[in-house]
A and B are shown apart, each in its own frame.
Chain A
Amino acid sequence: MDTWLNNGFPRSLTLLLTIVCVCVGGARAQTPSTCLDCHAALDPPLQVTQAQFSQDIHAQKGLSCTSCHGGDPGKADMDAMSKAAGFRGKIQRNQIPELCGHCHSDGTFMRKYNPSLRTDQFTQYKTSVHGKRLVQGDTKVAVCIDCHGVHDLRPASDPRSKISPLNVAQTCSRCHSDAKYMQGYGIPTDQYANYNRSVHHEAMTVGGDLSAPTCPTCHGNHGAAPPGIDSVKNVCANCHVFQAQMYDKSTHKVAFQSAGLPGCVVCHSNHDVSLPTDAKLGTGPEAVCMRCHKPGDICDQARAKMQQDLTQLDGAVKAADRILGVAESSGMEVSEARTEQDQARDSLTKARVTIHSFKTDLVEQDIHAGLKIAAMTQAEGQAALAERDRRRRGLGLSLVIILAVLLGLRLYIRQIESNASTVETAELRH
């Protein structure tokens, strides 16, 4: 080895190879950054650790501190943060949306990283309440980093992200539930508490349905604004399509519009939307119709008719379920009736949707269809129970016959054995 190294040519070759390796290796690695060397040791808010930054989607895509803050991390100490090195320092809050938009609004640039990501966030932000107030000089409003985070920014698909469906409501609530922070804006601060009680929140957290509505679903995200009175129905209709179609046919649509009432919200509320029950059509504490209508008027009569129809079908479905349940627990095969029963349940659901047309004849059609199926399945359940009883009677009869045969056999065995012993005894006497 020594001989080999001492040879002039191989030594130069070794040197050359080393240089090539360092250059290639350096080019492949991330641009060396000295920023974190110092910032990891600083106190918050200036602290940024390697562990934190390595989780950032931008860092993972190869971007570095200089992409936003400028400067030259290749230089030592404060020279890295000199104006000559293009250092921008801490970005002012009112400049953040524009800075982010610099890349995120550039379709050609973004295509390299994520071709499916939209590039209209900044345009939308400018139409939002947040964006408009920021232009007016209100720096308390949300800018990109307030929702997305900074230095450890994760995509919405990451469940740890502040904007993942499971976390985004809490992210909004950090400002919107803070009464002190929201002072002066004239809007309530109980939206998050109300939302947490809603059927939408339950679907998301208990049901695990990540497509269930959360703040941005109704308000928009980058273009966040409260839906206007006229657009409430359109917002709800994104999911509740058939209810919206029925509402469009109803007299309420015109009446609410002319009275300046916000459509769906009038009966269902906005943030604390509870699971609607048929009691909403009633006259009890949950009832909503009687808030506006007078007892005995034509609308009250229609309300009473629709509630009665729903109660009737609900009762018929439950009665059929009960009978099928008893038959099933007795071991009878009623899966076909169970499948038919699902259709009766569908009719009930459809009738509850048709309620939004507030037309009794339309509701009646669904109710009749459901009642017909429920009567059929109930009859099938009763037939299964009758068949069960018939089988048990047949079993009883069979068991009686089997017992009689057993008794007969026993007596016959006793008789032939008794005869045999008599013969043996007689033979012995002879």
Chain B
Amino acid sequence: MFAALRDWIDERFDWAALTAPLREKAVPKHDLSYWYFLGGITLFLFGIQVCTGILLLLYYRPSATEAFESVQYIMTRVQFGWLVRSIHSWAANLMIFTAFCHMFSVLFLGAYRKPRELTWITGMLLLFLAMGFGFSGYLLPWNTLAFFATKVGTEITGQVPIIGHGLKVFLRGGEDVTGATLTRFFGFHVALLPGLTVLLLLIHIALVQYFGMSVPPGVEARWKASPSEMRQMKFFPNFFLRELMSWYIALGVLGALAAILPWELGAKADPFAPAPAGIRPEWYFMFMFQTLKKIPARVWFADGDVLGILVFGVAGIVWLLLPFFEQAGGRRGRRLVLGAGIFALSYIIAMTIYGYMAK
């Protein structure tokens, strides 16, 4: 049957020519090849998010009066609803985790270097979008923790100089977090962000295909010195099957987390209740949240929060344009980027742990 289908396509589209790039495509093979899988795992988890998100949409109702109840209904009454919701929540966190790992692996393996600057920039933008997915999706179950975390999160946005207040009102759909915020976040989560993500993802993948896999500078130098050491593997099926294995492993981890630690729903948000103790954002915002908490109210002449937000804003832009800074830095550029990478990774890990340990 498969052969018949293949013949049918072959007669119309020339199957051999169509699949030639796949057959010819090769991937560098070296000791660090397994880091390549992180991008693929992130893509796989995004696919899971799309599928489970569509399933959740069948029952979810985006209003302050019904959101919590609809998620509760999904978890208790809908067949396998608990699994779908749990996988959606866990996969979101795992996706951001693997995206961070992918970003740092690209940084430390030097895969962002010329000519792959645009691949880095689209990848970074995808990471920002993933965090946007996390922030907007966190509020959707309309539970107490999400409500107050969103209140704090959007309040921080309001501290941005000049456009802060307008941005806060835009995000909240008013001066405060209400049902209007929920509807707005739902719109961002299921329409705006997926649209942008798919567009950037296609560009990102096209760029990866166009430039091929990068070879780490050390390996590249070794291969140049001794060309006989150079190794490659076919993309299809060799690399693809290995990639498939990594997806299966991710699926196993995801299933285990969803079954053993189902994502909690908590209590319904009550806008008139006082904020419960220990309000904190999702783990991937923790390093920023903890930094803003620890900055003094006044630093010299500037407001501490505003200064912190400005520093993070500038750091984000610098990070986005990192490949160009390396080129401008000449010989020392690579060392500076590596140093910045090690500092950023250590800072994020340390502040995240501190944020969870601090009372």
Binding site for B on A (CB under 8 A): 331-333, 335-336, 391-392, 394-395, 398-399, 402-403, 405-406, 409-410, 412-413, 416-417
Q: Are B249 and A406 in contact (CB under 8 A)?
A: yes
A402 touches B259 (CB 8 A): no
Tell me if B269 is interfacial: C-beta within 8 Å of chain A: no
Instruction: Give min CB distance, B258 to chain A, whole Å.
Output: 8
Expressed in whole angstroms, the Cα–Cα distance for A406 and B245 within the complex equals: 6
Is B260 a contact partner of A402 (Cβ separation < 8 A)?
Answer: no
Interface contacts beyond A331-B261, A413-B241: sample of 10 additional A-B pairs, CB < 8 Å, sorted by A: A332-B262, A336-B72, A395-B256, A399-B252, A402-B248, A405-B248, A409-B248, A413-B238, A413-B242, A417-B238
Bound complex: CA of A410 vs CA of B262, how far in Å? 31
Across the interface, do A409 and B255 meet the contact criterion of CB distance under 8 Å?
A: no
- Give the shortest distance, in Å, between A415 (CB) and chain B (any CB): 11
Whether the Cβ atoms of A392 and B248 lie closer than 8 Å is: no
Chain A residues with CB under 8 A of B75: 333
Is B244 in the interface zone, CB < 8 Å from A?
yes
- The answer to whether B262 touches A409 (Cβ under 8 A) is no
A392 touches B260 (CB 8 A): yes
Does A395 contact B255, Cβ atoms closer than 8 Å? Answer: yes
B251 at the interface (CB under 8 A from A): yes
Q: How large is the interface on B (under 10, 10 to 19, 20 to 34, 35 or more residues)?
A: 20 to 34
11 A-B residue contacts at CB 8 Å? A331-B264, A332-B262, A333-B76, A333-B262, A335-B72, A399-B255, A402-B251, A402-B255, A412-B241, A413-B242, A417-B238
Question: Interface of chain A, helix or strand or loop or mixed?
Answer: helix
- B222-247: contact bitstring with A at CB < 8 Å (1 yes, 0 no)? 00000000000000011001101100
A399 and B256 contacting across the interface, CB-CB below 8 Å? yes
| A395:B248 contact, CB within 8 angstroms | no
B37 contacts partner chain A, Cβ-Cβ < 8 Å: no
| CB within 8 Å for A394 and B265 given contacts A333-B72, A412-B241 | no
In the bound assembly, the distance between CA atoms of A412 and B242 in angstroms comes to 10
| Contact B238–A416 (Cβ < 8 Å) | yes
B265 touching A409, Cβ below 8 Å: no
In the complex the two chains form, is A409's CB within 8 Å of B241's CB?
yes
Q: Which residues of A contact B249 (CB under 8 A)?
A: 402, 406
Closest CB of chain A to B67's CB: distance in Å?
A: 15
Docked complex Cα distance between A402 and B250 (Å): 10
A395–B259 Cα gap in the complex (Å)? 7
Picked from A332, A333, A403, A416, the residue with its CB within 8 Å of the CB of B237 is: A416
B268 nearest in chain A by CB position: A335
For B260, the chain A residues whose CB sits under 8 A away are: 331, 392, 395
CA–CA, A336 and B241, complex, Å: 45
> How far apart sit A333 and B72, CA to CA, in the bound complex (Å)?
8
A333 and B255 contacting across the interface, CB-CB below 8 Å = no
Are A394 and B72 in touch, CB under 8 angstroms? no
Return the contact of A333 from the options B83, B244, B251, B265 (Cβ within 8 A). Answer: B265
- Quote the shortest CB–CB distance from A207 to chain B (angstroms): 17
B82 at the interface (CB under 8 A from A): yes
B236 CB to nearest A CB, Å: 11
Q: Which residue from chain B places its CB closest to the CB of A403 in the assembled complex?
A: B252
A-contacting residues, B261-313, CB 8 Å:
261-265, 267
Given contacts A399-B256, A405-B248, A409-B244, contact A333 B82 (CB under 8 A): yes
The residue from B241, B255, B263, B267 contacting A398, defined by CB atoms under 8 A apart? B255
Q: Which of A391, A405, A406 makes the CB contact (< 8 A) with B259?
A: A391
CA distance A232 to B234 in the complex (A): 94
Smallest CB gap from B82: residue in A: A333
Complexed CA–CA distance, A403 and B249 (Å): 8
Measured CA separation A402–B260 after assembly (Å): 17
- Rounded to whole angstroms, the CA-CA distance of A395 and B252 in the bound complex is 9
**Chain B positions within 8 Å of A392 at CB level:** 259-260
Q: How far is the CB of B276 from chain A (nearest CB, A)?
A: 16
Residues in A with CB closer than 8 Å to B255 are 395, 398-399, 402
Are B265 and A335 in contact, CB atoms less than 8 angstroms apart?
Answer: yes
Query: In this complex, what residue of B is CB-closest to A396?
Result: B259
Q: Give Cα distance in the complex from A417 to B263, angstroms.
A: 42
- Minimum CB–CB distance from B342 to chain A (whole Å) comes to 33
Query: Measured between C-beta atoms, what is the minimum distance from A242 to chain B in Å?
Result: 28
Q: Is the CB of B72 within 8 A of A406?
A: no
| Distance of A7 Cα from B242 Cα, bound (Å) | 106
Q: Are A331 and B262 neighbours in the complex by a CB distance under 8 Å?
A: yes
Within 8 A of A (CB), among B101-152: none
Which of chain A's residues have a CB closer than 8 A to the CB of B263? 331
A395 to B87 alpha-carbon distance, docked (Å):
13
List A contacts of B264 (CB < 8 A): 331
CA of A331 to CA of B261, assembled, Å: 6
Q: Which residues of B contact A395 (CB under 8 A)?
A: 255-256, 259-260
Cα A392 to Cα B257 in complex, Å, equals 11
Give per-residue flags for B204-216: 1 if the beta carbon is below 8 A from chain A beta carbons, else 0.
0000000000000
- Is A406 in contact with B262, judged by CB distance below 8 angstroms? no
CB-CB under 8 A from B237, the residues of chain A are: 413, 416
Distance of A368 from chain B, by nearest CB (Å): 27
Inter-chain contact B238/A409, CB cutoff 8 Å: no
Cβ distance A232 to chain B, nearest Cβ, rounded Å = 39
Question: Hey, which chain A residues are within 8 Å of B83, CB to CB?
Answer: 391
Interface centre among B244, B252, B263 (most CB of A within 10 A): B252
Smallest CB-CB separation from B246: which chain A residue? A406
